[in-house]
Amino acid sequence: EAQVTQNPRYLITVTGKKLTVTCSQNMNHEYMSWYRQDPGLGLRQIYYSMNVEVTDKGDVPEGYKVSRKEKRNFPLILESPSPNQTSLYFCASRGGNEQFFGPGTRLTVL
Amino acid sequence: TQLLEQSPQFLSIQEGENLTVYCNSSSVFSSLQWYRQEPGEGPVLLVTVVTGGEVKKLKRLTFQFGDARKDSSLHITAAQPGDTGLYLCALSGDSGGSNYKLTFGKGTLLTVNP
């Protein structure tokens, strides 16, 4: 079954404590991306990756890092989380015109 | 910067009614996608339209891409409670942009009451 998985699904943390949200896809897609979804603001792209070792900033990259060492994995790293990064995060993987989203990670930064 | 506006923002109707939601862009785009998102889940792709004037049907859902490729509509016939969700449009690429990047509208939150 084609899917994008994210972990954890829920996370509550404190300001400044580094965290990583993992993302993995099994469709051999080259293009992957991260979004955050906030009420009234919709889905906004954080970072994307065109292929292994190729990443670039999306619309709201500040405070985030990513890496793409393997085609299937695209982790999102928050080196020093702040309360304004409390949000619902989605990883996505795209092949051709079809984009698949993960189930989401709800992050709360206290 | 492309702007993508969806209307209405909220829509609450009774089962059996018809409805149309709209997606409008400030500029031409190469393709447009419609997604549906249920609470607690990620968006799921419904359809991609690429040709101006194109009409696609998915059961009771009809998607139309404007001739000028700047707007699209989603029409639902005889809505059912299972149609409840957030409907998002997303556009891909413009005359000078990357075809991989998707820009999303803020969505139409549809509630279909039994």
* Cα angle B92-A33-B88, degrees, rounded to a multiple of 5: 50
Contact B88, B37 (CB under 8 A): yes
The alpha-carbon gap from A43 to the nearest alpha carbon of chain B, in Å, equals 6
CB within 8 Å: A103 and B44: no
> CA-CA distance, A102 to A9, in Å (whole number)?
10
The alpha-carbon gap from B16 to the nearest alpha carbon of chain A, in Å, equals 28
> CA-CA distance, A95 to A80, in Å (whole number)?
32
Over range B73-96, report the average pLDDT. 86
Which residue in chain B is spatially nearest to A99 when comparing CA positions?
Answer: B45
SS (H, E, C) A66-78: ECCCCCCECCEEE
CB within 8 Å: A42 and B105: yes
Q: Which residues of A touch B106 (CB under 8 A)?
A: 40-42
Contact A87, A38 (CB under 8 A): yes
> CA-CA distance, A17 to A29, in Å (whole number)?
31
Contact A3, A98 (CB under 8 A): no
Q: Compute the residue count for chain A.
A: 110
Contact B32, B48 (CB under 8 A): yes
Q: Is B2 on the interface with A (CB under 8 A)?
A: no
Q: Which residue of A37, A55, A74 is the best one to mutate when testing the B interface, meaning the one whose CB has the most B CBs within 10 A?
A: A37
Which residues fall within 8 angstroms of residue A96, CB to CB, at 6 or more apart? none
- Note the pLDDT of residue B29: 77
B 30-49 near A (Cβ less than 8 A): 31, 33, 40-45, 48
> CA-CA distance, B104 to B33, in Å (whole number)?
9
- pLDDT by residue (tens digit) across A50-86? 999 999 999 999 999 999 999 999 999 999 999 999 9
Find, among A27, A37, A18, the residue nearest to A75 by Cα. A18
Q: Is B13 on the interface with A (CB under 8 A)?
A: no
- Note the pLDDT of residue B97: 45
Name the band, by pLDDT with cuts 50, 70 and 90, for residue B2: low
Name the band, by pLDDT with cuts 50, 70 and 90, for residue B40: confident
